Structure formats: structure tokens, C-alpha cells
């Protein structure tokens, strides 16, 4: 696979921030689709302590070759100093979905 598909995850306590990021990524053809979840509870270590907050998760469908550009846009538009930017390979999907996603981001089919 020359252009593997990638699922990128980020979270924020501000849904509007994720909507802005999602819209920008899709408009720039860096992502074919972004999905923003209902609130989730995150428990995490921050500044020496354990914290808990309500956040939203954004699932970004893209390609591995676009990860750096996606990460740059997330960092630029995000409201956190250290946003979660995690990429996971999409190892299995239908041929039709793969073709659509590559087309949506202007990748090779």
C-alpha cells in the first residue's frame, strides 16, 4: 500500500474548536471526513497531578502522507498547549471506502 489510510484522534473541551479544525481539514483536502463525538470524560496526568474533564473527540480520516500537515493545522487552531494528536493506521477497510477516502483527499487510488 503506497498511501496507507490513517485515523487521527484529537480532543478538546471546546466543541467549536474541533468544528473549526474539522472544517479546515476537510476544506484543505487534508481529511475526507471528521467526526466529533458527544462529550467523553477524560482522566489524565497534567502538571504533576491527576485531572478530569469533559471533552469531545474528533476522529479524522486521512492518509499517512498527510499526517504532518494535519498535525500542523490541529496545533495551529487548537485551544490546548499540548493537544492530543495521535495517528493510527487503518489496516482494514472496504475497497470502496479506501477509494472514496483517497479521492476525497486527492490521493492515489
| Residue 69 main-chain phi, psi, to 5 deg | -70, -40
Count of residues in the chain = 109
- Asked whether 20 and 101 are in contact (CB, 8 A), the reply is no
Which pLDDT band holds residue 108 (cuts at 50, 70, 90)?
low
Quote the pLDDT of residue 2: 63
* CA distance linking residue 14 with residue 36, whole number of Å: 11
Distant-in-sequence, close-in-space partners of 72: CB < 8 Å, separation ≥ 6: none
Is the pLDDT at 1 greater than 80? The verdict is: no
C-alpha cell at 25: 481539514
Counts of helices then strands in the chain (DSSP H, E): 3, 5
Please give the domain boundaries of the chain with CATH numbers for all domains.
5-104 (3.30.70.120)
Quote the pLDDT of residue 106: 85
When pLDDT is averaged across residues 71-84 and rounded to a whole number, the result is 97
Task: Give the number of other Cβ atoms within 10 Å of residue 87's Cβ.
Answer: 17
What are the tens digits of pLDDT across the range 9-68?
999 999 999 999 999 999 999 999 999 999 999 999 989 999 999 999 999 999 999 999
Amino acid at each position: 500500500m503506497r498511501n496507507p489510510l490513517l485515523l487521527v484522534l484529537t480532543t478538546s473541551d471546546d466543541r467549536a474548536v474541533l468544528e473549526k479544525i474539522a472544517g479546515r481539514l476537510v476544506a484543505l483536502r487534508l481529511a475526507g471526513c471528521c467526526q466529533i463525538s458527544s462529550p467523553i470524560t477524560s482522566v489524565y496526568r497534567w502538571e504533576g497531578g491527576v485531572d478530569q474533564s469533559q471533552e469531545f473527540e474528533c476522529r479524522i480520516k486521512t492518509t499517512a502522507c498527510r499526517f504532518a500537515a494535519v498535525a500542523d493545522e490541529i496545533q495551529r487552531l487548537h485551544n490546548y498547549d499540548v493537544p492530543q494528536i495521535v495517528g493510527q493506521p487503518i489496516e482494514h477497510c472496504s475497497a470502496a471506502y479506501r477509494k472514496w477516502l483517497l479521492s476525497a483527499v486527492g490521493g492515489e487510488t
